[in-house]
């Protein structure tokens, strides 16, 4: 079936999707809004005179997803079944992730991109009176599924290892080491938690412990009992059996989170600990060496 965007006269047309099968489709898109620390503080505290910046941006993104075919000429009107806009704030950056779902004959990539872009533009509009040089960057499709083309997931080449840690005895705090050596179906050589079981190695994202740092607690590598501290990858979105490649090693996710130790010092100080909900545990499929700076990739299975 030919899905050309040109008619017999060589002019643009809307693609005819009449004969395409309806499938369940999801698309995620992202955008970043870079502001200065003063603007970010006003956003967080509700000090922007136009109102709640993120609430307005969220509604704007949802509205944009529903109206995409009004502004993108060749987009089909789609019966969207769900739109969600999420924000993650750092000291000077708002990361926007839009998720759009439908069951139909064509995908919702443009709807997700339009939602993320419009949410970003709305943040600019809400805040331009206090900062004119706000930057909007990294508008991109992050992933999509459904339809003939199957699954797409953007490679995140910025995902890296921040530190590697071990503990020689159970019940003792992990400490940072220059590198770790992994053994197939065993774990990290020299780590007390290695063995023939499903939690051979633990990973935690540096982004996950930002909330702990914001509470004023100074944390260092190994404080959450993690073997691998990562940066630039959303571990929370991984699912059981996902395969992760780090340098030459391959891990397979076996568990998300675990019960927190009752005597966890971080929980005593802050009132919560991120490892029970955001930590990832895995077994070693392929051994090798992991060290700081190694690139982390998600292995995509054949469709």
Which of 13, 291, 23, 2 lies closest to 147 in space, CA to CA?
Answer: 23
206/199 Cα distance (integer angstroms) = 20
CB 101 within 8 A of CB 80: yes
Dihedral sign for Cα atoms in the order 271, 259, 230, 237: negative
Selected catalytic residue, list 125, 133, 185, 263: 125
Tell me how far CA of residue 91 lies from CA of 82, 208, 271, in angstroms: 30, 15, 23
174/57 Cα distance (integer angstroms) = 42
Is-catalytic flag, 223?
A: no
Count of Cβ atoms closer than 10 Å to residue 196 Cβ: 9
Which of 163, 28, 45, 162 lies closest to 95 in space, CA to CA?
Answer: 28
Residues 6+ apart with CB under 8 A from 88: 94, 95, 97, 207
Q: Please write down the long-range contacts of 12-20, taking CB distance under 8 Å and 24 or more positions apart.
A: 12/73, 12/74, 13/74, 14/74, 14/76, 15/74, 15/76, 15/106, 17/76, 17/105, 17/106, 18/105, 20/105, 20/106, 20/147, 20/148
Residues annotated catalytic, as ranges? 125
């Amino acid at each position: 079936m030919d899905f050309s965007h040109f008619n017999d006269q060589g002019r643009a047309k809307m693609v005819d999707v009449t004969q395409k099968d309806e499938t369940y489709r999801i698309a995620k898109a992202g955008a970043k809004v870079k502001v200065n620390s003063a603007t970010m503080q006003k956003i967080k505290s509700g000090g922007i005179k136009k109102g709640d910046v993120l609430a307005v941006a969220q509604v704007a993104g949802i509205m944009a997803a529903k109206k995409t075919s009004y502004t993108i000429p060749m987009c089909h009107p789609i019966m969207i079944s769900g739109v969600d806009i999420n924000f993650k704030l750092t000291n000077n950056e708002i990361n926007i992730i839009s998720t759009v779902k439908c069951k139909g004959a064509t995908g919702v990539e443009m709807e997700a991109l339009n939602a993320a872009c419009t949410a970003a533009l709305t943040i600019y509009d809400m805040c331009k009176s206090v900062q004119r040089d706000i930057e909007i960057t990294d508008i991109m499709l992050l992933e999509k599924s459904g339809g003939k083309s199957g699954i797409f997931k953007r490679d995140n080449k910025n995902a890296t290892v921040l530190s590697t840690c071990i503990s020689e005895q159970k019940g003792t705090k992990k400490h940072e080491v220059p590198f770790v050596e992994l053994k197939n179906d065993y774990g990290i050589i020299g780590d007390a938690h290695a063995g023939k079981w499903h939690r051979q190695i633990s990973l935690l994202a540096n982004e996950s412990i930002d909330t702990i740092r914001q509470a004023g607690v100074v944390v260092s590598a190994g404080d959450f009992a993690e073997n691998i501290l990562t940066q630039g990858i959303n571990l929370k979105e991984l699912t059981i059996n996902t395969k992760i490649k780090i340098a030459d090693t391959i891990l397979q996710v076996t568990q998300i989170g675990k019960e927190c130790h009752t005597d966890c010092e971080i929980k005593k100080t802050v009132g919560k600990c991120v490892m029970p909900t955001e930590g990832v545990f895995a077994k070693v499929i392929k051994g090798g060496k992991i060290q700081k700076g190694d690139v982390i990739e998600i292995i995509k299975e054949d469709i």
